[in-house]
Chain A
Amino acid sequence: DILLTQSPAILSVSPGERVSFSCRASQSIGTSIHWYQQRTNGSPRLLIKYASESISGIPSRFSGSGSGTDFTLSINSVESEDIADYYCQQSNSWPTTFGSGTKLEIK
């Protein structure tokens, strides 16, 4: 199975700052990476698909980049509502796998 490593486990930023989440795959997966936001006691919400493709209804401050093994989700100007866990997922190889997540805290 493809292992996705997300780092760091916790990110702490101030409102208005830019933040980046890292996801590294154990082998090359092209751009078959997707990003999710999960607020406390909520369901995951798809933010970005195929590394950089935007999703209807998702604020434009969310963007994604990367290919191969290294991927990044960025939030341009963090807002308090962005407090959540963020997960990456790969769909290049069966079975699909998720990273362990990064928790975003607001200072």
Chain B
Amino acid sequence: QIQLVQSGPELKKPGETVKISCKASGYTFTNYGMNWVKQAPGKGLKWMGWINTNTGEPTYAEEFKGRFAFSLETSASTAYLQINNLKNEDTATYFCARRDFDYWGQGTTLTVSS
């Protein structure tokens, strides 16, 4: 069965870097792009962008250009979200979701606090 399994919760300080993983199984990884979605505490869903799992080309929503980076480890069917220079407002749950948003990871909770 198709699964997206994300890495565990993270507690970081402002200015640090975090890298969240999303491991796919049950389908051909390179056939479907991967989306990343942010959900701040008590808030709705915000699309961050997606990565073409065939070419590795990322596309970022305007708000997420600069400190955010999508990457792949195709041999491991894994997509990554890296956030640099963390800020308090990055505190959120981050989801990966397959191309058509038909399958989602379980979410990774990131807390940024000094």
Contact A43 B101 (CB under 8 A): no
Secondary structure dominating the interface of A: strand
Contact A100 B107 (CB under 8 A): no
Q: Which of B46, B102, B105, B107 contacts A98 (CB 8 A)?
A: B46
* B44 partner residues in chain A, CB cutoff 8 A: 87, 98-101
Q: Residues 75-97 of chain A: 1 if any B CB is under 8 Å from the residue's CB, otherwise 0? A: 00000000000010100000111
Q: A30 on the interface (CB 8 Å rule)?
A: no
Contact A46 B101 (CB under 8 A): yes
Q: Residues 27-62 of chain A: 1 if any B CB is under 8 Å from the residue's CB, otherwise 0? A: 000000010101000011110010000010000000
Q: 8 new A-B pairs (CB below 8 Å) besides A44-B45, A89-B101? A: A36-B101, A38-B45, A43-B95, A44-B95, A46-B102, A49-B100, A95-B61, A95-B62
Contacts A95-B61, A98-B46 given; indicate if A34 touches B101 (C-beta within 8 A): yes
A42 to B21, CA, bound (A): 18
* A34 partner residues in chain B, CB cutoff 8 A: 101
* A43 partner residues in chain B, CB cutoff 8 A: 95, 104-107
* B102 partner residues in chain A, CB cutoff 8 A: 46, 55
* B47 partner residues in chain A, CB cutoff 8 A: 95-98
* A89 partner residues in chain B, CB cutoff 8 A: 45, 101
Q: Residues 13-53 of chain B: 1 if any A CB is under 8 Å from the residue's CB, otherwise 0? A: 00000000000000000000000010000001111000000
A55 to B104, CA, bound (A): 15
* B45 partner residues in chain A, CB cutoff 8 A: 36, 38, 44, 87, 89, 98, 101
Give B46's nearest chain A residue, CB to CB. A98
Give A95's nearest chain B residue, CB to CB. B61
A48 to B55, CA, bound (A): 29
* A95 partner residues in chain B, CB cutoff 8 A: 47, 61-62
A95 to B61, CA, bound (A): 7
